[in-house]
Amino acid sequence: MSANPTRWGWHQLRRQWVERLVESAHVEAGDLVLDVGAGTGAITQSLLSRGARVIAIELHPRRAAHLRHEFNNRNVVVVQTDARDLRLPRRPFRVVANPPFSISVALLRRLTAPGSRLIRADIVLPRHEAHRWVSGTPPGAPRWRQDFACSLGVSLPRSAFLPAPPHDVAVLVIRRTR
């Protein structure tokens, strides 16, 4: 894989937008939250400041090592794995994440799979993908729509990212309905 993070769709969210994303997710103290594609830990840090317990998922070895060092002895577990291979928690959990765009569809399918204990997810995605999930047209929609509802969350301009993504971006909110 290339050293160029934009090749797989990694666009770092600027600090003020991280705060808006986490605030809009309504995370409470004690919540178990997955930060998928944790990168440098900006979302993880914001989640911790709200009292969440965080599982930071990061594939890149150096970024995972940085996260372990940065959040040592805090309510963070760093898991170095591809998010497409992620084993989900067996207890209720939330997701607040800005994952690489290249894994977003696989991640959404995993989060909404039968047996998932997902309560709510606020995930940064390409706008067209977020709209597709809100409209209920992605593959498998009849199955997951029994348990989950999708809506659009906080709006994020391309200038909220470094580097700016080539296409518009949106936050997809997935909520458990039963």
3-state secondary structure of 70: helix
d(CA 50, CA 46): 7
pTM of the model: 0.92
Sketch the domain layout of the chain as residue ranges.
11-176
Task: Report which of residues 86 and 8 the model is more confident about.
Answer: 86
Q: Which two tokens stand for residue 105?
A: 């569809």
d(CA 57, CA 97): 10
| pLDDT tens readout for residues 45-87 | 999 999 999 999 999 999 999 999 999 988 999 999 998 888 9
Give 38's contacts (C-beta < 8 A, 6+ positions apart).
44, 56, 57, 58, 63, 67, 78, 97
Region 96-125: mean pLDDT is 95
The region of weakest confidence among 5-14, 17-26, 113-122 is 5-14
Contact status, residue 57 vs residue 36, Cβ threshold 8 Å: yes
**To the nearest 10°, the Cα dihedral for 44, 54, 31, 33?**
80
pLDDT (0 to 100) of residue 9:
56
Fold adopted by 11-176: Rossmann fold (3.40.50)
Extract the runs of DSSP E, i.e. beta strands, from the chain. Answer: 12-13, 32-36, 53-57, 76-79, 93-97, 118-126, 148-156, 161-162, 169-176
